[in-house]
Structure 1
Amino acid sequence: MTTVASATGVGPLLRGWRERRRLSQLELALRADSSARHVSFIETGRSRPSEEMILRLAEHLEVPVRERNALLLAAGYAPRYAETPLDDPSLGSLREGIERLLGGYDPYPAIVVDGSYTVVAANRGIAMLLEGVAEHLLTPPMNAMRITLHPRGLAPRIRNLREWRGHLLAQMERQIALVRSEPLRRLYDEVAAYPLPERAGGAPEDREDPASHPYVALPLRVEHGGRVLSFVSSISTFNTPMDVTVAELAIETFLPADAATVTYLRSL
């Protein structure tokens, strides 16, 4: 994804973010130590905000780092946040930390993706789950959404595919609502159009009553080696990132959701 300036100017962009956050001009002004009049003038183009004011408003509107650069460009300023390639030497400590985290989570699955769900790192637990996935889906750059939802990916082995698919598509919809990304929109359209495959062996999909099991969150229930493994997932991001690349990294870890899954994974 790239940062581009908007032809509409910074005012309408800021107004759009304010409306998404459901804040009035007065509420935003109070949070940013400004006035509703000044916010109004910025949004209508009657006043050109300083770089500091744009960043202050963006902070209180929780605008993603990439989009803060877009706001600055729309106002005629240079981007403030770099977009450093992940393989750059300056990010060596970050890469090492990520690898240590993933390795420490073994044998439970863990994966790192960027803002377009491209896989940038994964541990052996993930590799175990991907056994049997079509080779073309595992050819770099791998995409986590394609691997999960493609009929030749994990989809045929996911016991609660309709629920899990709905969860993933809703997650993408929320992300698309926050960032202006045509590649992400195209990815959503692609994976949402995948047909629901028949599960391995033709067995029926799970139709459990949520009240009948002890899961604390929607589990991913996936077949592996003749058994069903159950996981609940957690997604972590970096606090107060100062780089676009780092801001868009997400670490997803899969915690075993039942004792049988724990026992099996520890036996590997």
Structure 2
Amino acid sequence: MRSEAGLFSAVLRHWRSRHGWSQLDLALAANVSARHISFLETGRAQPSREMVLRLGETFDLSLRDRNAMLRAAGFEHAFDEPAFDGGLPPPLAHALERMCAQQEPYPLIVLNRHYDVLHTNQSAARMFLHVMKQLPTSVNMMRLLFDPAVRDLVVDWERVARELLSRLHRELLNRPNDAGLATLLQSLLALPEVPKEWRQPDLSTSSEPTLIFRVRYQDLELAFLTTVTIFNAPQNVLLDEIVIESYFPFDDPTKEACIRLARA
């Protein structure tokens, strides 16, 4: 596998620029000479596979971006990029199913890096069907939130929508090469119901680790505390990117409504 001339050099300059580092800064962080970094960026030297991996780790790149850097240098990828269906290692697939079952009768949703629903437990499927009148197959959670039919069901929609758009802005700043994430954000910002002031990222407020989400269902107002789980030290791209959202009842009426739906 051969790289296109100059491709790795361009990728290296891109990530160094994104971090605001000089060649000396990168050299010190990666524990290599500044001369070698200069030679890599000008194409006078070709990196070894180990050097590419070291630079990817120094930049703290996602596993997908580390694979892309390896390909730019002419090497095969280092981290598998399996599909969700059948792609999880058996122990982790079993652990995920246990998590789904343990979360019952409250919702649990597995998302990819673009907020597409990959998997749900039975409670989440029921919630989609009863509250939002659709099954969660091929659903994008961000797009769903901005759907007019769903938007009217969400209590304090503006607060929730703005907080999630801010999250998307932050994620895109961390993953500037993610075209899918950029397309998702731009499509949401272009919607007429999104105020112009939301189109600029608000980085003055911290990103909360949890979110209170309230939705209207029949004559009830269901309130959930959402938490996010990710895998630590993943060794393939799928595990590096999937997000597990768990919804816990925030009050007794929500808890009782979830139990009733499970028995229906």
Q: TM-score, normalised to structure 1's length?
A: 0.77
**Cα contact 1:10–1:71 (8 A) shared by 2:** yes
Aligned with 1:157: secondary structure? coil
Aligned with 1:219: secondary structure? strand
2:214 to 213, 216, 221: 221
**Could you tell me which amino acid in structure 1 is paired with residue 164 of structure 2?**
L
Q: Could you report, residue by residue, the CA deviation over 1:184-237 in whole angstroms, capped at 9, with x for unpaired residues?
A: 33333333344549xxxxxxxxxxxxxxxxx99542122223222223322222
**Cα contact 1:133–1:147 (8 A) shared by 2:** no
Q: Could you report, residue by residue, the CA deviation over 1:244-265 in whole angstroms, capped at 9, with x for unpaired residues?
A: 2222111112233445544554
1:18 deviation in Å? 3.0
Distance 1:102 1:44 in 2: 50
RMSD: 2.9
1:185 corresponding residue in structure 2 = 182
2:59 corresponding residue in structure 1 = 61
**Cα contact 1:15–1:43 (8 A) shared by 2:** yes
Q: Could you report, residue by residue, the CA deviation over 1:77-119 in whole angstroms, capped at 9, with x for unpaired residues?
A: 2222221222237633322211111211122321101122221
1:109 corresponding residue in structure 2 = 107
1:148 deviation in Å? 2.4
**Could you tell me which amino acid in structure 1 is paired with residue 214 of structure 2?**
R
Change (3 A) 1:88 1:31: same
**Could you tell me which amino acid in structure 2 is paired with residue 243 of structure 1?**
N
Find out whether 1:251 has 2:244 as its counterpart. yes
Distance 2:209 2:139 in 1: 30
Change (3 A) 1:90 1:162: closer
1:41 deviation in Å? 2.8
Unaligned residue ranges in structure 2 (runs of 5+):
195-207
Unaligned residue ranges in structure 1 (runs of 5+):
198-214
How do 1:148-187 and structure 2 match up within 5 A?
148-152=145-149, 154-177=150-173, 178-187=175-184
**Cα contact 2:209–2:228 (8 A) shared by 1:** no
How do 1:1-268 and structure 2 match up within 5 A?
9-88=7-86, 91-130=89-128, 131-135=130-134, 138=135, 140-152=137-149, 154-177=150-173, 178-196=175-193, 218-258=211-251, 260-262=253-255, 264-265=257-258
2:202 corresponding residue in structure 1 = none
Distance 1:88 1:238 in 2: 17
1:55 deviation in Å? 0.7
**Cα contact 1:26–1:36 (8 A) shared by 2:** yes
Distance 1:251 1:216 in 2: 13
Aligned with 1:99: secondary structure? helix
Aligned with 2:79: secondary structure? coil
Number of matched pairs? 244
Q: TM-score, normalised to structure 2's length?
A: 0.78
**Could you tell me which amino acid in structure 1 is paired with residue 220 of structure 2?**
R
**Cα contact 1:151–1:194 (8 A) shared by 2:** no
Change (3 A) 1:140 1:231: closer
Change (3 A) 1:51 1:120: same
**Could you tell me which amino acid in structure 2 is paired with residue 148 of structure 1?**
L
Identity %: 33
Change (3 A) 1:116 1:7: farther
2:199 corresponding residue in structure 1 = none
